[in-house]
Amino acid sequence: MTKSAGHQHAFLDKQSRAPMLFNSLTFVVFFTVVVTAYWSMRSWNARKNLLVVASYIFYGAWNPPFAALLFSTTAMDFWLGSRIANAKGRHPRRVWLVASVCMNLSMLGFFKYGNFLLQNFQWLLARIGVIYQPPHLDILLPVGISFYTFHSLSYTLDIYRGVLQPTKSLRDFILAVSFFPQLVAGPIVRAGDFLPQLVDPPSRRTGRFLWGLLLMTLGLFEKIVLADTMLSGSADRIFDYAGPLVALDSWLGVMAFAGQIFFDFAGYSICAIGAALCLGFHLKDNFRFPYAAIGFSDFWRRWHISLSTFLRDYLYIPLGGNQVRPVRAALNLVIVMFLGGLWHGAAWTFVVWGLLHGSYLVIERVFRALFENKAWANNLATRVLAGFATYTAVCIAWVFFRAADFTIATRMLRGMFGGHAHGDAILSTREMLQIGIVTFFMILVHWSLRESNIETAVTRLPRWVVTAAWALMACAIILTQGNSNAFIYFQF
């Protein structure tokens, strides 16, 4: 069918029209000024006002007029939240909620899916013989719209569900939606998790601040050094190559992308968590060593946790979750993953990626129902094998996520499964070594820490190792000179 030109372009030119990047000098200066001013202020209200202004500057530095869009959706949800809370009876509450959902999703639909919907409408009409040439809408996708729409939407949804009281402070709600560390690429922080942190001012704690700085260093190291320097060049070359590739290069290209997207997105999330900690705020983990997942439900408990829990709480459970007949539960999973795929971008390749994961989850359920109680199903060898199978299947799904269209995806898959015995080899030995070494250590670390977390791991390490690792990461970032791409998830 159709493909999104925007999607095709996005991976090729990630830096064009990027917002303020964590890995930019502008952010270093911006963050230093904000943190200094923030902690030098005594008044909690003044600090929150400062964060609101800073967040809007952070967003406006990308495209000032779109800050007005961010404000208007936030203000609307603030008002609708109070209407839901004050409405008497189930029906009016539902009406106000529907208004909020429609407002947010129509905004998302127009900016993100406008051209995609038109292209598909054109394709459908053509199937029944009607020739229709829709106008190409020259729509600029507001950066981070998928994230801040969900930040904002969680507020009205939680008020409707009765798990959150509306705030009376528009300023606090604006800050909850637009808090700059999480604004443009997540994690998706629910208003219900953030607003309570705005009640009392955080205390000044040096340890928390410096730990935040260490996390920011770790996040930047993952992004700049591991994702951009070690992996992205190889992944781009493989996926942009117009000819057939041998199996080795195809697999290495997909593994490079698997590592790149993890370090890119997890790196951003860790930076956001670190930056928030420096300001005294606590954001939850967004990744928990996902490439050590055993099975796909385990994978989604570890990958982009803020999105998967959002979809679980606001979509999967309202659809009936697993408290319905097995076939319906399977359908629910597929619907959720279909929409999860579409959330990532207006292209059918993303939909296929989502549907593949939906299918994986359904197949896993069937396997669990059949074999979970068998002794062999829980021994070490089976778990390792299941972990390997999970990683492999996730990599296969990444092909659709990364490929600009189905032609490329098909060519990649054919190469991976030996369909191009006489294909080209385009990776240098250095690139192959980089992919192999980074992937090996990534999986090793994920498996070592799969039942743990980074805080526990750092606590157990000797101090000199923590010091050396922090210094090494900082030196590597300086050596890389910040000459890297924008974060992949900005485009979502």
Partner 1 sequence: MPSSTSNFKRKLRLPRLFFAKPSEIVPRDYERPIPPLPWRGITVVVVLIVIAAASAWEFYCRSIGYGPTLNDNEDLWTSTRRRVKPESVVIIGDSRAWFDLDLDELQKGLGKRPVQLAMGGSCAYPVLADLANDENFHGTIICSVVPRLFVAPPGTPPMERAEKAVRRAHTQTLAQRASQYLAMPLEEHVAFLKQEELTLDDLLKRLPIPNRPNALVPPRLPPYFGTLDRERRARMIEECARPGKLQSTIQQIWLPLFTPPPPPTYIPKDVFMAKMNDAIEARFRDITAAADKLRARGGKIVFLRLPHSGGLKALEDRTTPRTGIWDRVIKDTAAPGIYYEDFPELSGFNCPEWSHLSAGDSVEFSKRLVPHLRNALQL
For partner 1, which is the closer residue by CB, 243 or 326?
A: 243
Query: Does 208 interact with partner 1 (rule: CB under 8 A)?
Result: yes
Instruction: Confirm if 112 and 147 have CB atoms less than 8 A apart.
Output: no
What does the buried/exposed string (b/e) look like for 453-475 if buried means 16 or more CB atoms within 10 Å of the residue's CB? Answer: ebeeebeeeeeeeeeebbeebee
Choose, by CB under 8 A, the member of 33, 137, 444, 471 that binds partner 1: 471
Query: Does 322 interact with partner 1 (rule: CB under 8 A)?
Result: no
Active-site annotation holder among 151, 344, 357, 420: 344
Rounded to a whole number of angstroms, the minimum distance from the CB of residue 116 to partner 1 is 21
Rounded to a whole number of angstroms, the minimum distance from the CB of residue 39 to partner 1 is 16
Q: Which residue has the tokens 């992949």?
A: 488
Rounded to a whole number of angstroms, the minimum distance from the CB of residue 299 to partner 1 is 23
Choose, by CB under 8 A, the member of 76, 319, 449, 474 that binds partner 1: 474
For partner 1, which is the closer residue by CB, 136 or 284?
A: 284
3-class secondary-structure state, position 142: coil
User: Is residue 344 among the annotated active site residues?
Assistant: yes
Residues 6-25 that bind partner 1 (CB under 8 A): 13, 15-21, 24-25
Using the rule CB under 8 A, give the single segment among 264-272, 305-313, 354-362, 462-470 that binds partner 1.
462-470
Q: CB neighbours of 427 closer than 8 A, spacing ≥ 6?
A: 234, 237, 238, 249, 252, 253, 435
Longest dimension (CA), the chain: 71
Q: What are phi and psi of 490, to 5 degrees?
A: -60, -35
Using the rule CB under 8 A, give the single segment among 89-97, 117-125, 335-343, 458-466 that binds partner 1.
458-466
Query: Does 428 interact with partner 1 (rule: CB under 8 A)?
Result: yes
- Token pair recorded at residue 476: 């590597």
Query: Does 451 interact with partner 1 (rule: CB under 8 A)?
Result: no
What mask, x for binding partner 1 by CB under 8 A, covers residues 74 to 113?
----------------------------------------
Instruction: Confirm if 323 and 259 have CB atoms less than 8 A apart.
Output: no
Residues 336-365 that bind partner 1 (CB under 8 A): none
Residues 273-312 that bind partner 1 (CB under 8 A): 273, 277, 282-284
Using the rule CB under 8 A, give the single segment among 188-196, 318-326, 333-341, 358-366 that binds partner 1.
188-196
Query: Does 197 interact with partner 1 (rule: CB under 8 A)?
Result: yes
For partner 1, which is the closer residue by CB, 101 or 476?
A: 476
Rounded to a whole number of angstroms, the minimum distance from the CB of residue 174 to partner 1 is 9
3 state SS for 249-290: HHHHHHHHHHHHHHHHHHHHHHHHHHHHHHCCCCCCCCCCCH
What mask, x for binding partner 1 by CB under 8 A, covers residues 237 to 256?
-----xxx------------
Give the C-alpha separation, 269 to 298, whole Å.
19
Give the C-alpha separation, 471 to 213, whole Å.
12
**Number of CB atoms found within 10 A of residue 365's CB:** 18
- Token pair recorded at residue 120: 């598909």
Q: How many residues in the shown chain lie near partner 1 by CB under 8 A?
A: 81
Q: What are phi and psi of 184, to 5 degrees?
A: -100, -15
Instruction: Confirm if 262 and 290 have CB atoms less than 8 A apart.
Output: yes
3-class secondary-structure state, position 308: helix
Choose, by CB under 8 A, the member of 35, 37, 41, 61 that binds partner 1: 61
Residues 153-182 that bind partner 1 (CB under 8 A): 164-172
Q: Which residue has the tokens 């443009």?
A: 184
Residues acting as catalytic residues: 344
